[in-house]
Amino acid sequence: MLDFSTRSSQTELLDRADIPAADLILNMRELNTINTLLGGHWITLQGFKSLAAGKRKISVLEIGCGGGDNLRVIEAYCREQGIEAELFGVDLQQDICTFARAQNPRLHIQCCDYRLSRFDTKPDIIFSSLFCHHFSDEALVTQLQWMRENARIGFFINDLHRHPLAYYSIRFLTTLFSNSYLVKNDAPVSVARGFKKAEWQLIFAKAGLVYDALKWRWAFRHLIVFRHGK
């Protein structure tokens, strides 16, 4: 029986450097479907709205951007609202960056470790979605501090709540419907590497940050928002 009292240390296949491009792309497409159907993109949009309220011009950076699906959702919202948006993404995998650029040439994609990304002007908002659970708690302390230092308005995080129902549900659903061995393996591992509310509270405390909001969202996600001046 899997122990859900602590975060799993099992690594995901996606973190390997030798995954064929076609497999990575299939993984990205299926993750977009999962995020669409289970509300992941909606949560990202809520985080964006909370920091971008009242702005008519905004710059946004997603770290661990994958195929750029979250950025495209934000782009569509900004277009509907008449907001001028400059959208940046950074990811470590070259094949994934190539895919993201092909999906939307308007996105500014850098292929590197997020800590090495460079911009003429700091972005207004930085965010991550399903990225934090790839890191240890200690590495996340540094990541939160980096986002604070490099975001002009603030940052938000959309990531998984570690829970038995979430774990066994996604394992069942991906076994039935997924055609990607990466998704089948990594989706439940991601949940096992996810977080409970008290863990986020401790990580923020260690980083010396006070979040603006920490909210549970369906389906088994946490949305954490940090705003400068709070």
Overall number of domains in the chain: 1
Q: Is the pLDDT of residue 24 over 70?
A: yes
Is 47 within the bounds of a domain?
A: yes
Q: Is the pLDDT of residue 56 over 80?
A: yes
Q: Is the pLDDT of residue 205 over 70?
A: yes
Q: Is the pLDDT of residue 1 over 90?
A: no
Is 1 within the bounds of a domain?
A: no
Is 150 within the bounds of a domain?
A: yes
Domain housing 41:
22-227
Q: In terms of DSSP H, where are the helices of the chain?
A: 21-37, 40-52, 69-81, 94-103, 137-150, 164-177, 181-192, 197-207
How far apart, in whole angstroms, are the C-alpha atoms of residue 103 and residue 97?
10
| Three-class SS state of 10 | coil
How far apart, in whole angstroms, are the C-alpha atoms of residue 183 and residue 7?
19
CATH number at residue 105: 3.40.50.150
Is 10 within the bounds of a domain?
A: no
Is 2 within the bounds of a domain?
A: no
Give mean pLDDT, residues 108-114.
Answer: 97
Residue 2: what pLDDT? 87
Q: What digits encode the pLDDT tens for the residues 65-104?
A: 999 999 999 999 999 999 999 999 999 999 999 999 999 9
Is 9 within the bounds of a domain?
A: no
Is 145 within the bounds of a domain?
A: yes
Give mean pLDDT, residues 14-42.
Answer: 96
How far apart, in whole angstroms, are the C-alpha atoms of residue 156 and residue 124?
12
Is 11 within the bounds of a domain?
A: no
Bridge partner residues of 84 (DSSP): 57
Average of per-residue pLDDT values in the chain: 97
